[in-house]
Each structure stands twice: as C-alpha cells, then as structure tokens.
C-alpha cells in the first residue's frame, strides 16, 4: 500500500514538462480479473501514443516516454501486488506508479500538467490510520484502514537500540584515554562502576534508548507530516510510552497502546487498534469545514468560493485550507503578468485544470487540502477555501 507524502506529490507535479501522460485505472488484488488489468493498461498506452503524436511528438519520442510503463505489461510481480486502483504518471525520463485505495474511473490525459487530484485523498486521511509498533529491537510501520493492515517497507528506519549501542561501544574503544595511574598524592582513584563517558551503565542505556527513539521520530516525520490520518504507537510499555511522549508526529492517538506487538499477527493488531482510531476518522476534515462555515456565516472575507480568487490566493501563499471536488475540471489559465484568471467551460490550447493548479500551489506553500464529493462541498460552491489573510 503506497503512503504518499506532500513532497512526493510536488515532485510528480514538477516532472510533467511540456507533455505528460496521466493514466488512472481500476486494478484488482486477486481473481481472474488480474489478467485483464495489463490488457487495459496496454489499450490506454496505445491511446496515449496516438495523443502524443497528434500533438506533434515524433513516434520514437512518444515511445520513449511510454517505455517504462510498457515494461510493466509483462511483469507478473507488478500485477500481483496491486491495490484497488493505479495512477501512472509518465513524462520524458520520468515515471511514477501510485497505488490508490479506491477504484478510480478509467481516464487518460495528455498535457503540460499531470492530473493530480486523484492523489490528494491520500493526504487527508479519510478512514485510514498509521500504526507504529516499537520495541528495543526495532520498529514496524503499518498502513491501516477498516479492512486491515499492510506493512510499509519503503521507509529507512534505525535498526533498534542496538544500532546506537554499537556506535557507543565503538566510540568508547576508539576515544577512551589510556588507563589512568593512581593519584596517590591526592588520595584519588577511578570511581568503581563509572563509565568512560561519565555515566553509570543504567544511565547510559537510557541515553541510548532516547537517542534511538529520536532517530526513529526523525525518520518517520518526512513520511507522515502533512497527513491527517490518526497515528497510533504500540509496543512494550517502557519503549512505546517514551516514544509517544517525545514524538513530534502529527495526529497521535492520546496515549500509546501497551501490547507485545511482536507476539501478535497483523489481524490481531488490527483488531486491537481499530476501535481506538475509528472516533478520529475524518476529525480534521470536520473541524476544517466547521471553521469555514463559521467564517462564512460571520461574513469574514477569509472564506471564499470564487475560482479566480482562490487560484490567485493559492499562487501567492494565502490559502490556508482548500476544499476541492473529487471529480471534474475547471479549465483556464492564470496570466500572472496581468494578474488575471480566465475560466473556460471548454479547454483551449495551453489551458490547465485550475483546480489542480490551485492544489499544487496550496501544497507548495504549506496549505492543507481536503477533497470531498460534490454533495459534501460546503456553501453550495464547486470549490472553497479559507485564506490566511
């Protein structure tokens, strides 16, 4: 299961170049339908080639853009490890394949920007959560939803407290001074039980534990910052409690779960944690919507629903929270020289989806995004935002 970060979305956004290909398609975890998925992708790639050449690209150049995806067609391992949906982004010397936890409508777009809105729900949490099990031996990270857990193997985590202990032992060996001679003139001698670095063994082990947990937190922060799903820490009481108290991770459950995580399989862990996180599902989104409605109800100018105003505000780092529909486009362009946004019902050459553009600018400038169905969108508007000022 992919866990996408804000920085990864921005990396994709910046890679489209002059012509990028976005492919969205449903995929299957098991059954005979798995065999249909590569056939469906092959048809989409054939259509992508036609659209690229129709835009003036030489066939060899079009094939070079699509080649990494073509290689996936015969990869049995790739198709046997899919989720509910797949998003593929292709450009010159660039490809990203992202699992989606839902089945998207099949769609192919070719243009100067990628279709990124389908990725944004991966940031807002929805009914998903993260479970971190931690012990002296190391940590494991699981992406969870109502159905179960899936271990993440894409993170580079410290290898338990032993990693720090080995470094400490090495430092002692290479930096400790020669054995001191007794200082008889002052009646002094080396204190028994003292460590080379001045700590007792018990104090040293505590320092090593804290150092390990700080490294773990630093390794997890880039992957979980900017996301809104609940995060639960579970494990040995001493270790998990320390980690919970010092961690800077967002959306932590109010307390660590004391459990021998190593003795439980994924189903048992899921059963233990799910009741704790269910009340947190969607909490950040509900709070943001309540704030928007309160501002709008009081006539506060920071609550806006006009597309041109939101597009400009996003570019100039004024959008704090952006509420987008999960489907549909608003075509047009933003002329920064004239400070003018043109909105069109039918796209013309050079137009982009202004909602995708506002989303990228909002992320780039540290704002928060929530995607909603059109029925959920507040204030009867196709898009809404809360501005910083």
pLDDT, mean over the chain? 88
Rounded to whole angstroms, how far apart are CA atoms 135 and 239?
6
Please check the confidence at residue 287 and state whether its pLDDT lies above 60. yes
Q: Which token pair is 65?
A: 């853009």
| Whole-number pLDDT of residue 178 | 52
Q: How far apart are the first and last CA of the chain?
A: 38
Q: What is the pLDDT of residues 66-125, one digit of tens each?
A: 999 999 999 988 988 788 899 999 999 999 999 988 889 999 999 989 999 999 988 876
Residues 6+ apart with CB under 8 A from 362: 314, 319, 322, 368, 369
- What is the pLDDT, as a whole number, of residue 114? 95
Here the tokens at position 132 are: 């971190």
Strand pairing class (85-91; 20-26): antiparallel
Burial of 308 (0-12, 13-18, 19+ CB in 10 A): middle
User: Is residue 80 a contact partner of residue 74, using CB atoms and an 8 Å limit?
Assistant: no
Question: What Å distances lie between residue 389 and 303, 309, 318, 319, CA to CA?
Answer: 10, 13, 7, 8
CA distance 79 to 162: 38
pLDDT band at 169 (very low <50, low <70, confident <90, very high): low
- pLDDT digits 0-9 by tens, 181-206: 444 444 444 434 434 444 687 888 88
In the predicted structure, residue 365 carries a pLDDT above the cut 80: yes
- Kindly provide the b/e burial profile for residues 365-385, where b requires at least 16 CB atoms within 10 angstroms of the residue's own CB: bebbbbbbeeeebbeebebbb
Say which DSSP state 176 is in.
P
- 175: number of Cβ within 10 Å: 9
How many residues does the structure list for the chain?
389
| pLDDT tens, residue by residue, 115-140 | 999 999 888 767 789 999 999 999 99
Closest by alpha carbon to 49, among 17, 87, 23? 23
Q: What is the mean pLDDT of residues 17-32?
A: 87
The per-residue pLDDT for range 288-346, each reduced to its tens digit, is 999 999 999 999 999 999 999 999 999 999 999 999 998 889 999 999 999 999 999 88
Work out the pLDDT band at 175, boundaries 50, 70, 90. Answer: low
Query: Are the beta carbons of 304 and 156 closer than 8 angstroms?
Result: no
Query: Which domains does the chain carry?
Result: 6-122 (3.30.960.10), 128-174+192-280 (3.30.420.60), 283-387 (3.30.1330.30)
């Amino acid at each position: 299961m992919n866990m996408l970060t804000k920085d990864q979305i921005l990396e994709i956004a910046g890679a489209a170049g002059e012509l990028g290909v976005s492919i969205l398609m449903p995929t299957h975890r098991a059954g005979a339908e798995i065999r249909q998925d590569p056939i469906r992708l092959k048809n989409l790639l054939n259509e992508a080639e036609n659209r690229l050449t129709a835009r003036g690209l030489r066939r060899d150049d079009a094939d070079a853009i699509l080649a990494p995806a073509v290689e996936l067609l015969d990869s049995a391992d790739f198709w046997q490890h899919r989720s509910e949906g797949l998003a593929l982004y292709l450009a010159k010397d660039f490809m990203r394949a992202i699992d989606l936890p839902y089945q998207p409508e099949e769609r192919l777009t070719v243009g100067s920007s990628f279709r990124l809105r389908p990725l944004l729900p991966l940031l807002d949490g929805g009914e998903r959560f993260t479970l971190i099990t931690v012990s002296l031996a190391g940590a494991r990270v699981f992406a969870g939803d109502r159905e179960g857990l899936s271990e993440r193997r894409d993170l580079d985590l410290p290898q338990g407290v032993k990693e720090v202990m080995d470094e400490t032992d090495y430092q002692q060996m290479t930096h400790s001074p020669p054995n001191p001679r007794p200082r008889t003139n002052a009646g002094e001698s080396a204190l028994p039980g003292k460590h080379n670095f001045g700590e007792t063994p018990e104090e040293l082990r505590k320092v090593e534990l804290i150092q390990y947990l700080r490294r773990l937190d630093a390794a997890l922060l880039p992957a979980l910052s900017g996301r809104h799903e609940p995060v639960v820490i579970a494990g040995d009481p001493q270790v998990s409690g320390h980690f919970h108290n010092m961690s800077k991770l967002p959306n932590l459950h109010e307390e660590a779960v004391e459990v021998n995580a190593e003795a439980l399989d994924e189903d048992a862990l899921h059963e233990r944690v799910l009741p704790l996180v269910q009340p947190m599902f969607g909490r950040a989104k509900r709070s943001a919507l309540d704030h928007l409605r309160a501002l709008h109800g009081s006539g506060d100018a920071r609550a806006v629903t006009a597309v041109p105003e939101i597009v400009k505000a996003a570019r100039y780092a004024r959008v704090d929270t952006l509420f987008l529909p999960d489907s549909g486009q608003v075509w047009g362009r933003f002329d920064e020289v004239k400070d003018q946004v043109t909105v069109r019902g039918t796209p013309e050459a050079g137009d982009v989806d202004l909602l995708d553009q506002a989303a990228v600018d909002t992320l780039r400038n540290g704002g928060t995004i929530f995607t909603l169905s059109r029925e959920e969108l507040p204030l009867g508007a196709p898009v809404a935002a809360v501005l910083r000022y």
